[in-house]
A and B are shown apart, each in its own frame.
Chain A
């Protein structure tokens, strides 16, 4: 049995108990990567030397008592949109194909302080724009459960790496479901925290008002433990929130008695795969058996979340991605005639189709004459969606539903019809608009043997409630390792 089949916390315990060294753990991960990358392609960058030397350093630090965190010495993979000092950070884009930052994102820095050993950077949809990890400039990532299927996205590399057991855990980012949906497709657990809980400093922005970094791991315990490390109040991020409590692991209790769980009827309508529906409702039953009060309700406005999201996210993206112009870093076109031609050629050659599509849409909705009709309308819709959730949370502690309407589609099926692909985010997107925390965890497999994800949504700053519910549900089933985990 590989060390990589352990959860991060289990491995951390073994390292602490001196049964395993951090170096052995890193080596096990690197061996797994070596063996599986040809199939899964979850990494953009793997830095063996750095990982091993860091593992030696951390091992010494554990022995001398510098590193005491449960995650000390445990190998981690970082989504390639988080800046890492001295390590290539590409956002899976040609335009950042050679970018080596000299600063580290705050979330990663928090991990480093806890003694994490970074293996490398994981593949993603280019600039996190996509739901399949097919838009990466460095090739698609495959689903470890079936390499003919996508791993989901945009944090597909992180989720696939965890499912393929190439690392113990990973960091992803979630703008419209980019942690929860690929977690669901890959049969792993991922949390999108309340907006402002994890610093965005050093996270290469897609939609600034929606982006959040979060953990991806095998189980809820790992995710709570990781979140406890990466969540922090950061003065470098003006939207960072100083929370009252960060003790997420205290919610790891198999106790949901009296917990009020609402199931939005709107999440179970047209477009939802029956197998997914059955598995999710069965999960609700399990929680009910454990004493939770489960009832259906009308959340409303669900179908408006996607159009509102695309206006807001693309508008912000069109501005956030303006800085990639061939002047300060990254790709610059070879031949050009003057400044504006250099800009245009650099950007047209450097960005992929989906990114260009979103930048165009975002520029259009902000342009003169359309701002009110599109952008402000979307911001007003966002306010209504937030109100709908506020109302729901007056009644319920947790909202339960699927993470995605289907299991992982086959590679090549999604990109041809963007709107259909966007519709796949229907259950995750409104959570970002409202700034709420959400968790996705495995709740079964479909007939094709592909994982189904259960999503639990909490009120803002109430991660502990969804962690508790997720943990309680998790106790009712065994963790199923992906076929590629061997």
Chain B
């Protein structure tokens, strides 16, 4: 395997993605990501130096909305699935100490 994924990398990606893996899962992830990256490295066979990255497959542009209020009071719908709710707000663990 050309791409060796370190524990630190898995830890770091876990922070980015907010995922906490068990020791077993970590080993598996190291192996899987390493193998995937080896496979992805196949792309380096292609000379893409003269190619613009294509984020959108069709050249459409300028899709706009006019600045007109359409939506009414959305609080009941927005809060309908909240795991924890206090009056009209979502509740989360305290964000500042």
Q: Do chains A and B touch in the complex (CB under 8 A)?
A: yes
**Chain A interface (Cβ < 8 Å from any Cβ of B):** 98-103, 195-196, 209, 235, 238-239, 241, 301, 303-304, 306-308, 310-311, 318, 322, 325-332, 336, 338-345, 347-348, 351, 353, 356-357, 359-365, 367, 374, 376-384, 386, 418-419, 433-435, 460
B77 touches A363 (CB 8 A): no
Residues of chain A within 8 A (CB-CB) of B93 are: 336, 338-339, 341-342
What sequence of 0s and 1s flags, for each residue 10-47 of chain B, a beta carbon within 8 Å of any chain A beta carbon? Answer: 10111011111100010011001101110111111110
Interface SS, A side = helix
Contacting residues of chain B (29-68) with chain A, CB-CB under 8 angstroms: 29, 32-33, 35-37, 39-46, 48, 51-58, 60, 63, 65
What is the CB-to-nearest-CB distance from B16 to chain A, in angstroms, rounded to a whole number? 5
CB < 8 Å: which of B16, B57, B84 contacts A363?
B16
B92 contacts which chain A residues (CB < 8 A)? 327, 339, 342
Residues of B within 8 A of A351 (CB): 19
Take A327-B83, A328-B82, A330-B81 as given contacts and tell me if A381 and B48 are in contact as well, using a CB distance cutoff of 8 Å.
Answer: yes
How far does the alpha carbon of A296 sit from the alpha carbon of B82 in the complex, in Å?
Answer: 56
Please measure, in the bound complex, the distance between the C-alpha atom of A235 and the C-alpha atom of B48, giving whole angstroms: 35
Supplied contacts A345-B20, A380-B52, 9 more A-B pairs, CB within 8 Å: A103-B77, A241-B60, A307-B41, A311-B43, A344-B14, A362-B17, A364-B33, A383-B52, A435-B58
Are B25 and A383 interface neighbours, CB within 8 A?
Answer: no
Give the chain B neighbours of A338 by CB distance below 8 A: 93-94
- A99:B81 contact, CB within 8 angstroms: yes
Is B44 a contact of A377 with CB atoms below 8 Å?
yes
Residues of A within 8 A of B48 (CB): 377, 380-381, 383-384
A434 & B57 in contact (Cβ 8 Å cutoff)? yes
- Give the 6 A-B CB pairs with smallest separation, nearest first: A379-B53, A329-B81, A380-B48, A435-B57, A332-B83, A383-B54
Q: Which residues of B contact A235 (CB under 8 A)?
A: 65
Which of A331, A339, A377, A382 sits near B95, CB closer than 8 Å? Answer: A339
**A357 and B32 contact, CB distance less than 8 A:** yes
Q: How far is the CB of B24 from chain A (nearest CB, A)?
A: 11
Which chain B residues lie closer than 8 Å to A241 at the CB level? Answer: 58, 60
A residues in contact with B13, CB < 8 Å: 360, 363-364, 367
Return 13 A-B CB contacts under 8 Å, by A number.
Answer: A196-B58, A304-B42, A307-B40, A327-B90, A327-B92, A329-B82, A330-B83, A347-B19, A353-B25, A353-B28, A357-B29, A357-B33, A381-B48
Is there contact, CB below 8 Å, between A419 and B36? yes
Give, as a whole number of angstroms, the nearest-CB distance from B70 to chain A. 11
Given known pairs A307-B39, A332-B84, the reply for A195 and B57 (CB within 8 Å) is: yes
Give Cα distance in the complex from A331 to B81, angstroms: 10
Q: Which residues of A contact B17 (CB under 8 A)?
A: 318, 322, 347, 359-360, 362-363
Contact assessment for B18 and A325 in the assembled complex, using a CB-CB cutoff below 8 Å: yes
Specify which of A307, A367, A383, A435 is in contact with B51 (CB 8 Å cutoff).
A383
B residues in contact with A336, CB < 8 Å: 93
Distance in angstroms from A314 CB to nearest chain B CB is: 9
Cβ contact within 8 Å between A238 and B63: yes
**Cα(A102)–Cα(B28), bound, Å:** 38
Does B69 sit at the interface, judged by CB under 8 A?
no
Select one of B19, B35, B90 contacting A360, CB under 8 A: B19
> Does B80 touch A at the CB level, under 8 Å?
yes
Instruction: Check A356/B94 contact, CB under 8 A, given A100-B81, A307-B43, A329-B81.
Output: no
Evaluate contact between B58 and A418: CB separation under 8 angstroms. Answer: no
